[in-house]
Structure 1
Amino acid sequence: MCEYRMFKQRLYSPCAGEYDTWGIAYYCGKEMRFALEDVGCDEAMVRRLTQQLNRFDVSVCHFKDVVLDSLE
């Protein structure tokens, strides 16, 4: 079964210093196929987006575009 999962990262920016952010990865079984890092710092927003990607069974070929469009 393939699904989208969110993951937490700690990143560094010269302007902001260290900060926590969330990314979304596409898994088939235990194998990660694709990931977008630093989708957002708002955990609830990234969780909702991940749930929508799974609910609507978004194809991995549209994954990046859907995520980028949702951030505009």
Structure 2
Amino acid sequence: MKMYYYEVWGDMSADRTADQYPTVAVCEDCIKAQEQSGEDNQLVSGGTELVTDTDETCHFCDCGFDD
């Protein structure tokens, strides 16, 4: 399974941009699901950097490289 880093909607009341738009790992299945969700899509930008850290888990479904 491949995962990519994406900026997602976060805590919009936070002072820091990193908290408003955190960069997280997202698996391919969740990317497809988010793209199909229309206005409820939580992905802001990204998808060009492949996740290589085997300890990372998907932000949405908590799956990892071994799942």
Range into which the TM-score falls when normalised by the shorter chain: 0.3 to 0.5
TM-score, L = length of structure 1: 0.33
Q: Which protein has the bigger helix share?
A: 1
TM-score, L = length of structure 2: 0.35
